[in-house]
A and B are shown apart, each in its own frame.
Chain A
């Protein structure tokens, strides 16, 4: 993580242009620029600058956005629930569809169904996510007028904000119309974001199921006369879940990249959207914040996966 922070810091400093100049605009006088440089600590040598940056970063202070002037951390925290809701829902779809389909493909290996799913999964990981999103809009949003977009809620729907998660808040306040509306708005972005993880989860479940089903203990269970579905779920799936869980953890990074694109297309007010905006507005403080938090989250999730590993597999002990 320290290495990551050094890399991010150096890269952002390497971005051409004087931040003080950018902050003040073209008309600023030299003395104004000098004053700002002094205030931002830009006159210090680079290693000192890095340590100052690190000191603030550890306390959650990543500086202010160059565009809005509000602290980067606040700006990101406000948008966190929207992104969390979207990615969680996308992952849920991915797992709920990916795992069963993977199991079916493995149990019926080389059947027509298996081949069909395999090609479908490969097609899933071959589609650019922004194209998939646009096609979903064309089909379900415009042509069939089934699902609403863009944004998170209809203009007439109001939801009391408690957690910032539309679905949770609406249920807590018994606002079922709001829940339904939020759900409809959520479906298209979540499918767009969830398709690639779904395909990856499916492929992983299939191949690890195939491996596990060839093990001796599965044969023993069959020989014992355990009912087939019990063999598949208790002996097979439980053990096959390990690599699948790893792969789910690894999807986190992909989801972050995907969220930037999905949120931009659907005008979803989350972190991905602000990442896109700060890139196009050259808001370097914001980019730095997004990347740093993104990397931190990524490391954290992978740590979580390692812990989960130990829970799922009694043989793994730390």
Chain B
């Protein structure tokens, strides 16, 4: 036993050294990517904005001022006022809370379920693998937004259900990524070694397989986040997500759009700013995702 321990230590030491240099390597590549850095900065601003929304926002996002309907940008209201005279800047700031949280929640659902399914399918293989992956294929056979629409119709329209629906739709992508990296790791010598040391399946999965499958998982999850934010906004637009008067970015655009044709003439700013917020947030996530992929995948390094 003592000998085995010593052997494990001997294996562990070079591994930890390698992990650190890998981390250094990763951060250097990532930080030298200007677009990824830009994305990270913008995203941080959005997150700070979301956390400190009550402190940052100049007005209550729900308080109406019908006198100021579609009033254009001014010093008092830098982004102008919307169809009910609400301050758009404040609504965009509070919207960061809802839209980002919703996107993250959807990705969390997809990642948790997808990792579990991919892990089990990849690790055990055989019959389990076939059944789980066919199930994933059925989900993939639907155009994603159509499936989300059906799920929300079944559960009833609400922001929480929209998150759940988007989460479910993205499970197969995560599951596939995890499965393929698990399969490539499964037969490695160090897994064999763990098994020889008497580790059970669960232990091998969590200590051996999972940590070595994280890189592609992180990349996939980040890129999924970008799509999730977009799709949740789209569901809100279809009336299946956040409802008025919630200051969610997609719902803000919907409310403005549905207020009538006048918005295209006099309320253009009400259409521009929430959309810019969505696009900027998603773009930053995409930049970060691309940067992560380039930094984590040695094959892509130029």
Contact = CB atoms under 8 A, between A and B. Distances in A.
A and B interact physically: yes
Interface of A: 1, 3-4, 7-8, 11-12, 14-16, 119, 122-123, 125-131, 134-135, 137-138, 141-143, 252-254, 256-257, 260-261, 264-265, 275-276, 279-280, 282, 284, 287, 290-291, 294-295, 298-299
A141 B264 contact: yes
A261 B283 contact: no
B226 A138 contact: no
Interface in B1-51: 35
Given A11-B151, A16-B156, A128 B146 contact: no
A128 B230 contact: yes
A126 B282 contact: yes
Interface in B138-171: 138, 141-147, 149-151, 153-154, 156
B237 A261 contact: yes
B272 interface: yes
Nearest to B300: A207
A131 B275 contact: yes
A143 B141 CA distance: 41
A135 B143 contact: no
A282 B150 CA distance: 11
Given A122-B287, A130-B233, A261-B237, 8 more contacts: A11-B154, A12-B154, A128-B230, A128-B275, A130-B254, A131-B275, A252-B143, A294-B146
Contacts of B238: 260-261, 264, 276, 279-280
B240 interface: yes
Contacts of A294: 142-143, 146
Nearest to B237: A130
B100 interface: no
Given A122-B283, A129-B234, A261-B237, A14 B143 contact: no
Contacts of B145: 253-254, 256-257, 260
A130 B237 CA distance: 8
A253 B254 CA distance: 23
Given A128-B275, A138-B264, A279-B239, A257 B253 contact: no
A264 B238 CA distance: 9
Contacts of B138: 3-4, 7
Contacts of A15: 153-154
Nearest to B149: A279
Contacts of B88: none
A123 B137 CA distance: 30
A127 B275 contact: yes
Contact of A130 (B154, B234, B272, B283): B234
Contacts of A142: 264-265, 268
Q: State the majority secondary structure of interface residues on A.
A: helix
Given A279-B153, A287-B150, A130 B142 contact: no
Given A122-B283, A138-B268, A131 B278 contact: yes
A38 to B, nearest CB: 25
Contact of A295 (B143, B153, B279): B143
A46 to B, nearest CB: 15
Interface in B179-223: none
Contact of A128 (B151, B250, B264): B250
A52 B43 CA distance: 52
29 contacts: A4-B138, A4-B142, A11-B153, A11-B154, A15-B153, A16-B156, A119-B35, A122-B290, A123-B283, A126-B283, A126-B286, A128-B230, A128-B237, A128-B253, A128-B275, A128-B279, A128-B282, A130-B233, A130-B237, A130-B250, A131-B274, A131-B278, A135-B272, A253-B144, A254-B144, A256-B145, A265-B257, A275-B146, A291-B149
A30 B253 CA distance: 43
B98 interface: no
Contacts of A275: 146, 149
Contacts of B144: 253-254, 257
Contacts of A122: 283, 286-287, 290
B120 interface: no
B271 interface: yes
